């Protein structure tokens, strides 16, 4: 006997009832204003691990808010070398790169089974003309993305391997903490190679650095499960030239 499909897509999404609304686009909007957003953010999309949400060169129509799961974005050079430009978790927006040229300028790939809310960009623009608060929060999100990228440039341009990895872990745990997860433990959704690409290191260097931090008693590393045994020591590693 056949089984009825469990999920139908597109599914209705509702910002007003979403528990991510304090971390996502609606942050700071009133109940009524979020209601207006509901009209616009009406569908969602599920992806399985490895799926691309969009690719470089795809026409840009929508932004995406991560609902569940985990993504990476990366840019690729003609010769195949690529650079992971960010990791995105629930509440974070994907697709801002596409606004400038009407085409996406990077690939967005699900690192685990994930779902996103689709935010049609033209409708977002229209609603932003009505709701000054929405315009404001959207500008803030883009600005923070620029500031974040500058932080990564600082990391890539002037930090050493150990520092980079420490800064990376602290950044991840902080973001996970504001989503209700532990500050002391995390499960990495990305491979050593993807971490390395993000941090400008080779996967062997990432692995060795993990091992060193473990033997220093700062971390406990079991494959992708990380425990932070000594958070202060980890923080002490960043901003130390030697």
Partner DNA sequence: CGCGAGCTTGATGCCGATCAATGCATGTGG
Partner DNA sequence: CCACATGCATTGATCGGCATCAAGCTCGCG
Indicate whether 224 belongs to the interface with DNA (CB under 7 A).
Answer: yes
* Contact by Cβ (8 Å): 141, 106: no
CB of 34 to a second copy, least distance (A): 19
Comparing CB distances to DNA, the nearer of 105 and 167 is 167
Binding mask 62-101 for a second copy (x = CB under 8 A): -----------x-x-xxx-xxx-x----------xxxxxx
Indicate whether 216 belongs to the interface with DNA (CB under 7 A).
no
State which of residues 113, 141, 202, 220 lies at the interface with DNA (CB under 7 A).
202
Rg (CA), the chain: 19
- Shortest CA distance to 200 belongs to which of 169, 154, 233, 236? 154
Minimum Å distance from CB 93 to DNA? 26
Do 41 and 119 touch, CB atoms closer than 8 A? Answer: yes
Residues 27, 75, 221, 229: which binds DNA (CB under 7 A)? 221
Distance separating alpha carbons of residues 231 and 2, to the nearest angstrom:
52
- In this complex, which beta carbon is closest to a second copy, that of residue 125 or of residue 225? 125
The item of a second copy, DNA, none sharing an interface with residue 151, based on CB under 5 to 8 Å by kind, is: a second copy
Label residues 220-230 b or e (16+ Cβ within 10 Å = b): ebeeeebebee
Positions in 107-136 near a second copy (CB under 8 A): 125-126, 128-130, 132, 135-136
Contact 227, 185 (CB under 8 A): yes
Instruction: State how far the Cα of 152 lies from the Cα of 171, in Å rounded to an integer.
Output: 11
Q: What is the DSSP letter of 178?
A: T
- CA-CA distance, 15 to 91, in Å (whole number)? 11
For the segment 182-241, give every residue that binds a second copy (CB under 8 A): 197-200, 239-241
The stretch near DNA (CB under 7 A) out of 6-14, 30-38, 62-70, 191-199 is 191-199
SS3 25: coil
Tokens standing for residue 176: 């996970």
> Judged by CB under 8 A, which stretch of 6-14, 39-47, 142-150, 225-233 contacts a second copy?
142-150
Residue 157 CB, shortest distance to DNA, in Å, is 9
Distances, alpha carbon 215 to alpha carbons 88, 158, 211, 219, in Å: 30, 25, 6, 8
By CB under 7 A, name the binding residues for DNA.
160-162, 188, 191-193, 196, 200-208, 210-211, 221-224
Interface ranges with a second copy (CB under 8 A): 73, 75, 77-79, 81-83, 85, 96-101, 105-106, 125-126, 128-130, 132, 135-136, 139-147, 149-154, 156-158, 197-200, 239-241
């Amino acid at each position: 006997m056949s089984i009825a499909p469990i999920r139908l897509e597109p599914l209705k999404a509702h910002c007003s009832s979403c528990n991510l609304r304090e971390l996502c686009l609606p942050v700071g909007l009133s109940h009524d204003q979020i209601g207006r957003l509901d009209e616009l953010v009406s569908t969602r999309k599920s992806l399985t691990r490895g799926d691309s949400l969009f690719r470089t060169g795809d026409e840009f129509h929508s932004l995406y808010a991560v609902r569940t799961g985990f993504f990476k974005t990366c840019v690729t050079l003609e010769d195949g070398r690529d650079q992971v430009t960010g990791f995105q978790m629930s509440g974070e927006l994907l697709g801002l790169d596409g606004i400038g040229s009407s085409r996406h300028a990077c690939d967005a790939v699900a690192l685990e089974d994930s779902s996103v809310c689709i935010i049609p960009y033209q409708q977002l623009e229209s609603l932003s003309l009505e709701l000054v608060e929405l315009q404001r929060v959207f500008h803030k999100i883009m600005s923070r993305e620029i500031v974040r990228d500058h932080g990564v440039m600082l990391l890539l341009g002037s930090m050493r391997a150990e520092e980079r990895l420490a800064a990376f872990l602290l950044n991840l745990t902080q973001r996970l903490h504001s989503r209700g997860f532990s500050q002391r433990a995390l499960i990495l959704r990305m491979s050593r190679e993807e971490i390395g690409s993000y941090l400008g290191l080779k996967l062997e260097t990432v692995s060795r650095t993990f091992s060193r931090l473990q033997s220093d008693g700062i971390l406990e590393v079991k494959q992708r499960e990380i425990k932070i045994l000594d958070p202060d020591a980890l923080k002490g590693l960043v901003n130390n030239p030697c």
